[in-house]
Amino acid sequence: MNKHHDAAVRARRRWRSMVWSMMAIVFLAMALPSAGYLFAQVGEPTGEPQRQFSEQRETNPRSDMWRDGRRGEGGFTTQTGPYVTNQLMTNVGENYRQIRQGPLMTVGGWFLVAVFLAITAFYLLTGQKKIDGGRTGRTIVRWKAYERFLHWFNAICFIILAITGLSLLFGRTVLIPIVGHQAFSSYAEFAYGAHNFVGPAFSVGVLVMIVLWARHNIPKKHDWVWFKEGGGIIGNKHPPAGKMNGGEKVWFWVGVFALGLTVIITGLIALFPNLGFQTREIMSWALIIHATAAILWMGLFLGHAYIGTLGTEGALEGMTRGRVDVAWAKQHHDLWYEDVVAAGEKPVSEEELHGRQQQGPAPGSTPAGERGT
């Protein structure tokens, strides 16, 4: 009985120790390989293994050779010319790419969105600036036919260049997800060609505009009064203005002159890379400055186009028909109006105008805007 009992107890112990052993084997088999993670977390909080690893990599002599090449140190290449001589590799393209994909695209893109939203909000809050007391029905000449042609030539070129330029800058991010790779590829090729073709024509137009219209935009004392009164944009004040008001002069000198010339010069540097002086650095900086100035110019342009259309009643017809209502002229360009009337320009009604057009210009009428700057 006792013998049987002892044998049964031993058998149970053997069985229990076998089960525990099996469980210990399974647990250790799972736990031991993971112990490395535990040591990495608890035992090496400084990330020592990675640092040792990267130190080992930095001392790899083959990597050092490529690193030296990238830093432009020593060496000899068979290529000669203005770009790179005796230089295995250059970082210029990568630096350019980082500026383009980074601040240029993000700050530039959001800047344009912000300007658009600010103008929309301004319009919704203040509405259109109306002609006080309504139109008189009598008009005077503001822009001659060749001036209007020049203006709309530049405006159309600008819009084509802005659309194609923005498509090339933001196409990958914005257009590819919408139209797909193939459609974007065909469009991008067209946009690139159009941009390069219209750019030089626009450059000529802008230079002619600067030469012909600089005289209207010479700063005068009364422009400061115009700025002090906020251009009369809000409220009912009518600050003094010659042919161009203070705001238009800013558009002319900052937009058309400064940003225009910057965009033109950098555009030509990029378009004709073999002029002789362009290194890779000059080319990539030209492109970055070109795009930055163009984006700033587009921001100003949105303001100019808004004021010339939705923002001000009666402004656009000066640039389409060439004539503006007398009430508009007195309200927005009082000094210019007095000047042209003193010089003999006679405001006429529509009936008089049609009669006059049939008979030819009235004797003594002079071209508008020669003195009223």
Closer Cβ to ligand HEM, 72 or 308, answer by number: 308
Applying CB under 6 A, what is the total number of residues that bind ligand HEM? Answer: 25
Angstrom distance (rounded) from CA 108 to CA 277: 29
As measured in angstroms, the least distance from the Cβ of 301 to ligand HEM is 6
As measured in angstroms, the least distance from the Cβ of 319 to ligand HEM is 4
Contact 85, 79 (CB under 8 A): yes
Pick the stretch among 8-16, 120-128, 308-316, 362-370 that binds ligand HEM (CB under 6 A): 308-316
164 three-state secondary structure: helix
Closer Cβ to ligand HEM, 15 or 123, answer by number: 123
Pick the stretch among 28-36, 40-48, 297-305, 341-349 that binds ligand HEM (CB under 6 A): 297-305
Nearest to 87 by CA among 77, 97, 78, 96: 77
Closer Cβ to ligand HEM, 138 or 172, answer by number: 138
* Structure token pair of residue 131: 């002609």
Per-residue burial over 180-189, b if 16 or more Cβ lie within 10 Å, else e, is: eeeebeeebe
Rule CB under 6 A: choose which of 96, 226, 252, 337 binds ligand HEM: 252
As measured in angstroms, the least distance from the Cβ of 214 to ligand HEM is 9
| Residue 258 binds to ligand HEM (criterion: CB under 6 A) | no
Sheet of 323-325, strand order:
323-325, 138-141, 348-349
Closer Cβ to ligand HEM, 18 or 212, answer by number: 212
Closer Cβ to ligand HEM, 154 or 331, answer by number: 154
Rule CB under 6 A: choose which of 248, 313, 325, 334 binds ligand HEM: 248
Per-residue x/- track, 184-223, ligand HEM (CB under 6 A): ----------------------x--x---x--xx------
Residues 118-177 that bind ligand HEM (CB under 6 A): 142, 151, 154-155, 158
| Residue 251 binds to ligand HEM (criterion: CB under 6 A) | yes
Helical segments of the chain, H only: 2-38, 48-58, 61-71, 92-99, 105-126, 145-170, 176-179, 181-213, 221-228, 246-250, 260-271, 280-306, 316-320, 326-332, 334-342, 350-359
CB-based closest residue to ligand HEM: 308
Angstrom distance (rounded) from CA 353 to CA 373: 26
Nearest to 341 by CA among 373, 362, 371: 371
| Residue 309 binds to ligand HEM (criterion: CB under 6 A) | yes
Beta bridge partners of 140: 324
Angstrom distance (rounded) from CA 367 to CA 358: 19
Residues 217-236 that bind ligand HEM (CB under 6 A): 217
Closer Cβ to ligand HEM, 88 or 300, answer by number: 300
Residues 312-341 that bind ligand HEM (CB under 6 A): 315-316, 318-319
Residue with tokens 């503006």: 324
Closer Cβ to ligand HEM, 96 or 252, answer by number: 252
Pick the stretch among 25-33, 42-50, 222-230, 307-315 that binds ligand HEM (CB under 6 A): 307-315
Closer Cβ to ligand HEM, 92 or 165, answer by number: 165
Rule CB under 6 A: choose which of 256, 269, 283, 286 binds ligand HEM: 256
Angstrom distance (rounded) from CA 233 to CA 247: 10
CB hemisphere CA count around 122 (13 angstroms): 17
- What are the CA-CA distances from residue 178 to residues 5, 181, 312 (Å)? 83, 9, 36
The binding site for ligand HEM (CB under 6 A) comprises 142, 151, 154-155, 158, 206, 209, 213, 216-217, 244, 248-249, 251-252, 256, 301, 304-305, 308-309, 315-316, 318-319
